[in-house]
Amino acid sequence: MRIRHIVTAVVLAVLTPIAAGVAVLMHPQPAFAYHVQSGRLSLFSDKPFDTEKSKSLLAEVDRRLRLASLDHRDGEHRIFVANSYWRARLVFLWNFGAGGVNYYPLTRNVFIRESDIDNDRVQRTAGPVPPPRTFAYYAAHEIAHSLTGEAAGPLSYHRLPAWIREGAADYIGLAEKVDFEDLIERLRADDPELDPKRSGLYLRYRLLVSFFLDHEHWSLEQLLASPMPQPEAEARMLAAFTN
Ligand SMILES: [Zn+2]
């Protein structure tokens, strides 16, 4: 009997903080006092921001998402900006070093680190992140994870190789075409910017996703249903661009 009580106490001690953490990620609104809504997009922050500027910023995020064939425009997406250290700790958890985070399939809420919303910039320790990685990019990238996750389904989504998961989110988040000739030349020359480990950028993944979508005319749904290993994807792209 005593052992059962101890086991129950241990289980509760482990599960209670997890349940509290999940509740915070699903309903963080009370910790974010400032809010604006524009159609299906909501922006929350713990610091005041300009309403008109934030609405045009949300319109830009919406424009990028609309370009994705799998955006069915159903339901709300909420963006939370955690400027204070303790809020960032609370919602970024093991992703504390990241600029943005998405917890698909737990919630559609996405979280962005300290930002200057009025100037469309995310702040990092080195200073504001320069364009094209603007606040609109970070927000659209994180919401794109929800859209692609919902299209693929949770199990398939988490089994997808990183080049498809992050490449598709960046393809939607940046919403601009890549220069194949230039990037493939740089890839062949081992440009560090095209190595996600060295640069911290998803440029290589976006190049690959762009190849299948814009050059081979695959749909995003087709790409998400075909978890092709990265070496095979790269071999196909390089073969198509052999002089
Ligand atoms: Zn991502």
Could you report the per-residue pLDDT of 217-232, keeping only the tens digit for each?
999 999 999 889 999 9
Neighbours of ion ligand 1 (CB under 5 A): 166, 169
pLDDT above 70 for 75: yes
pTM for this one? 0.92
CATH architecture of the domain covering 8-151: 2-Layer Sandwich (3.30)
d(CA 100, ligand 1 centre) in Å = 8
pLDDT above 90 for 213: yes
d(CA 141, ligand 1 centre) in Å = 6
pLDDT above 90 for 11: no
The C-alpha atoms of residue 224 and residue 160 are separated, in whole angstroms, by 8
Residues of the chain with CATH 3.30.2010.30: 8-151
Instruction: Return the closest-CA partner of residue 164 out of 104, 226, 216.
Output: 226
Query: What tokens appear for 49 in the block?
Result: 């921001």
Band of residue 1 on the pLDDT scale cut at 50, 70, 90: low
Query: What tokens appear for 39 in the block?
Result: 């159609």
d(CA 145, ligand 1 centre) in Å = 7
- 116: β partners: 121
What is the mean pLDDT of the segment spanning 136-145?
A: 98
d(CA 101, ligand 1 centre) in Å = 7
What is the mean pLDDT of the segment spanning 99-127?
A: 95
